[in-house]
Amino acid sequence: MAQGPNRRGARRGAVTRLNLILSVILIVIVLAIVGVLILNSRSKAEPPAASPTAATTNASPTAALGVATPTAAPSAEPTTEQEAEVQQTPTPEPPTPTVEPTPTPVVGEFGDLPAPDMPSGNSARRPITLDYRLDLSLQLVPTEAPVYALEHRTWTLDEVQALAASLGIESEVVDQGGGSFRTADGSLYIASDLVRYINSAPDSSGATNLPGDDALIETARTWLIEHHLVGADAGPGSVRLRDDDAGRAIVAIKPVEPQGILSATPEASVTLTADGTVLQADIQWPAALRRSNYGLRSAEDLWNDIRAGRGYLEIDPAALPTSDGALTGPASLTSVSLAYTLAGSPAAQQFLVPLVVFAGQAEIEGADGPIPVKVYVPAVSAQVAPRG
């Protein structure tokens, strides 16, 4: 009977140890679970390590052992850095069309030119306001044209005496200095490009029947060339005045180049009788015309000048209505050409410079019908603008 209590105590001790062992096991399990949870949370929070380069991977002990390193799956959503890269990527812009530069107008060997010698307003000297319409392509407007430098003529006393003798002048030639000469009787005067001759002998032919215009022009041209008053560059002329009753005609000769010279220089004006006798000659002719090409202003600029009323209007005053007040109406310009006028001073350097001429018809209120018109505009780009 004495062994009963000992057995109970042994049983109780075994139960206590068992409980202790179970408690320890339970604690270990809990700690293991907590550790696994911590590791999982860390693996989710930390980004995967950067992949080493090929050279580092081959040298790693893991690769040497043949253990495959798992590759992290790409994230479904872009990271903050990836979003920033996407936002910073510039949006491609459409290519800008290439604009061809406007070519610089040609400046000839004479450099910048003086202002052209041309009037302002209109030839009728009346207030005229036209609404211009352009009925031709601006591409027809020339972009270049020659400019001509006048090389002035110099005379010697011997040359003037020879000319006086060929004209039948017996009076003494006087050297006035400065390149000018005159005969004592006043029948011949010369100064550089200017030659003025007056025939003091009366017309004794008695003929009054003038030949045709072509014959008059040829007579005047031949006389000028024979006396070396113009060169071989003398072009066709025109009969400026014809008086059949008096048997007199005035013929004007211009150089063959350029055409369309508006100014009185260069020009040779010869007054003839019916039998071809030269009564008077007024000559302004240089020794030579030296040529150089120049660029012209753009067609748009020329057209804008016309629309703004900055061109010179040539119109027949006799065709205009006699009513008072300003004349108005539309004008259609249908053609374009070049004309020439002087620029510069006779004491320095003179040039023949081009003008652009737009021609057409104007329908002015009160007129009997359409009236021909021409509008002249300064054309050279490297040129001083005209005053007025």
pLDDT (tens digit, 9 = 90+) per residue, 262-278? 999 999 999 999 999 99
Judged by DSSP in three states, 238 sits in strand
38-47, 271-280, 290-299, 331-340, range with the lowest pLDDT: 38-47
Residue whose tokens read 């003494």: 172
Average pLDDT, the chain: 83
CB atoms within 10 A of CB 47: 8
Q: What confidence score (pLDDT) does residue 205 get?
A: 59
Q: What is the dihedral of CA 87, 90, 92, 97, to 10 degrees?
A: 150
What is the pLDDT confidence band of residue 65, given thresholds at 50, 70 and 90? Answer: very low
> For 146, which DSSP code?
E
Closest CA to 234 of 210, 263, 269: 269
Q: Is residue 80 over pLDDT 60? A: no
Dihedral angle sign, alpha carbons of residues 107, 111, 112, 115: negative
**Structure pTM?**
0.71
What is the pLDDT confidence band of residue 323, given thresholds at 50, 70 and 90? Answer: confident
Q: Is residue 121 over pLDDT 70? A: yes
d(CA 216, CA 374): 29
Burial 58-96 (b: 16+ CB within 10 A, else e): eeeeeeeeeeeeeeeeeeeeeeeeeeeeeeeeeeeeeee
Q: Are β-strands 234-243 and 267-273 bridged in parallel, bridged antiparallel, or unpaired?
A: unpaired
Residues in the chain: 388
Give the pLDDT mean for 323-329.
87
32-46, 338-352, 367-381, range with the lowest pLDDT: 32-46
Choose between 71 and 278: higher pLDDT.
Answer: 278
Closest CA to 133 of 380, 375, 384, 330: 330
Give the pLDDT mean for 319-346.
93
Q: Is residue 141 over pLDDT 80? A: yes
Closest CA to 313 of 333, 341, 290, 297: 333
What confidence tens digit (pLDDT) does each residue in 255-264 have? 999 999 999 9
Q: What confidence score (pLDDT) does residue 231 get?
A: 78
Q: Give first-to-last CA distance, the chain, whole Å.
A: 154
The 3-class secondary structure across 289-321, one letter per residue, is: EEEEEEEECCHHHHHHHHHCCCCEEEECHHHCC
34-38, 113-117, 362-366, range with the lowest pLDDT: 34-38
Q: Is residue 56 over pLDDT 90? A: no
Q: Is residue 165 over pLDDT 60? A: yes
What confidence tens digit (pLDDT) does each residue in 340-360 have? 999 998 888 999 999 999 999
Which run of H or of E encompasses 267? Answer: strand 267-273
What confidence tens digit (pLDDT) does each residue in 199-224 have? 977 666 566 789 999 999 999 999 99
Joined tokens for residue 353: 């410079």
Q: What confidence score (pLDDT) does residue 162 get?
A: 97
Q: What confidence score (pLDDT) does residue 387 get?
A: 62
Q: What confidence score (pLDDT) does residue 10 get?
A: 52
Q: What confidence score (pLDDT) does residue 15 get?
A: 55
Q: What confidence score (pLDDT) does residue 157 get?
A: 97
Choose between 58 and 339: higher pLDDT.
Answer: 339
Choose between 30 and 56: higher pLDDT.
Answer: 30
Judged by DSSP in three states, 195 sits in strand
